[in-house]
Amino acid sequence: MWTVIYIAANRKLTLRLKGILDQEGIMVSLRPIGSSKVQDLGGYEILVPESEAEEANEIINNALTR
């Protein structure tokens, strides 16, 4: 089962966090929020497998506090 671990405000942040999680070997799925047809606008949910959620949260927290 996939779990939302973070809601990013924009596509740039979403892709940055996805890249960090990918480098750590975490599977990532992205889901746009809302009905905006313009991909650069609006937020995204970052999802990971439930079994990796705790580790992924730690990785994101560390990345955002640097």
- Give the CATH class of 2-64: alpha beta
pLDDT of residue 37: 57
pLDDT of residue 66: 81
**What's the one-letter identity of residue 57?**
N
Q: Which helix (H) or strand (E) holds 60?
A: helix 53-64
Mean pLDDT over 56-63 rounds to 97
pTM of the model: 0.87
pLDDT of residue 42: 77
pLDDT of residue 40: 62
Give CA–CA dist 32/10, Å, rounded.
Answer: 9
Tens-place pLDDT, residues 2-58: 999 999 999 999 999 999 999 999 999 999 997 655 556 679 999 999 999 999 999
Domain extent listing, the chain: 2-64
